[in-house]
Amino acid sequence: MDFSQKVKDLAKRSTHATKSALTEEATKTSVVLPLIQAFGFDVFNLDEVVPEFISDVGTKKGEKVDFVLKIAGKLSVLIEVKPISMSLGSSQYSQLYRYFGVTDARLAILTNGRDIWFFSDIDEPNKMDKKPFFVFDLQSHDAGQVQELARFQKSDFTIEGILEAASTLKYTTAAANYIKKQLKDPDDEFTKLVGRQIYTGMLTKAVIEQLRPAIQASLDEVIRDRIQDKLNIAFRPDAPAVELKEKTVEPTGTQSEIETTEEEIQAFMIVRAIAGRAIDLERITMRDAKSYCSVFVDDNNRKPICRFYFNGKSTKSVGVFDAAKDEVKHQITGLSDIYGLEKSITDVVKAYAG
């Protein structure tokens, strides 16, 4: 079983535990021990996994860390577990912070069986950072996050590599969150920053309010241009061909009557680029029929994303499904209009992502 499949199994365990695991011990058994196994550690070998590790903290004696992971005999990772019914927060962080300062570990994990928070000492040596450098949600994640999680496997574990990745992830995540916030609603400081480059007068409050929607629109345009650049690369003569699934027989026509047009392929590539922000691109597939062209997750009829209705003489439309499989049709005048359906497409893809 490869690591991504192990994560899928863990996701199912976490979802089930949300309904059934009522205690911390139940969370450990149902999710955390399988997680440690997925990382490649032998949970039955005390030379690799030590439960209830005693860590004296100052005047407090007999304080216990839920699990300690050892590599080549060295204490490498601390794991503190909370019930899956409990949200992770500052009180749990404080407990793990105390443990971190009196051990040789450079990596600490705080988890409730759904959220997994990874800490190190990037800001100050031997002092656990106040914020996790990586957060993984077992019930909601994408392929890129699974790749980052794979770094913590025993076979790939090097403290130097972990710390380098931690530093990169910490600032990349912070920057991405900031940019996402500005894409949604540019704040005054960001609007001023851009405004100074495009406006020669004084940036009064009225001017800032006038510039804000223009800056937000320009950010949307940049994102569209980046996606279009990727599509242009995909349609180069030397680019790999898009694989179209033909194994399903649609009731709307025979295979000999079906012609997949260049316009349908381009629309598929736009949807694929949008959906690729939430799910592995390879999971997005297309099947053509006589009356419409369908896009699915995992080539699965039960996971429809949208349909292209491009065969009409005067009008074209895109039908987007929701998680309940209800379809809403949107008339379009050009392929660029599909970008305006980004939220609906992303929402339904996320619903199928597990």
Spatial CB neighbours of 3, under 8 Å, sequence gap ≥ 6: 38, 146, 149, 150, 153
155 and 223 fall within a common domain: no
Q: Which residue has the tokens 């996606």?
A: 227
Which amino acid belongs to residue 100? F
Asked whether residue 172 falls in the same domain as residue 308, the answer is no
Judge whether 148 lies within some domain.
yes
pLDDT: is 220 or 297 the higher one?
Answer: 297
pLDDT at 246 exceeding the cut of 60: no
User: Do 12 and 119 sit in the same domain of this protein?
Assistant: yes
The count of other CB atoms within 10 Å of the CB of residue 289 is: 19
Distance between start and end Cα atoms, the chain: 17
Residue 171 sits in the same domain as residue 191: no
- Same domain assignment for residues 326 and 346: yes
Average pLDDT, stretch 162-174?
74
Task: Report the number of distinct structural domains present in the chain.
Answer: 3
149 plus 286 within the same structural domain? no
Please give the pLDDT value at position 354: 65
Query: Residue 115 pLDDT more than 90?
Result: yes
Average pLDDT, the chain: 82
Average pLDDT over residues 299-318: 89
What's the whole-number mean pLDDT along residues 48-66? Answer: 73
Same domain assignment for residues 160 and 189:
no
Range of the domain at 288: 255-352
Band (60; pLDDT cuts 50, 70, 90): low
Flag whether 334 is in a domain: yes
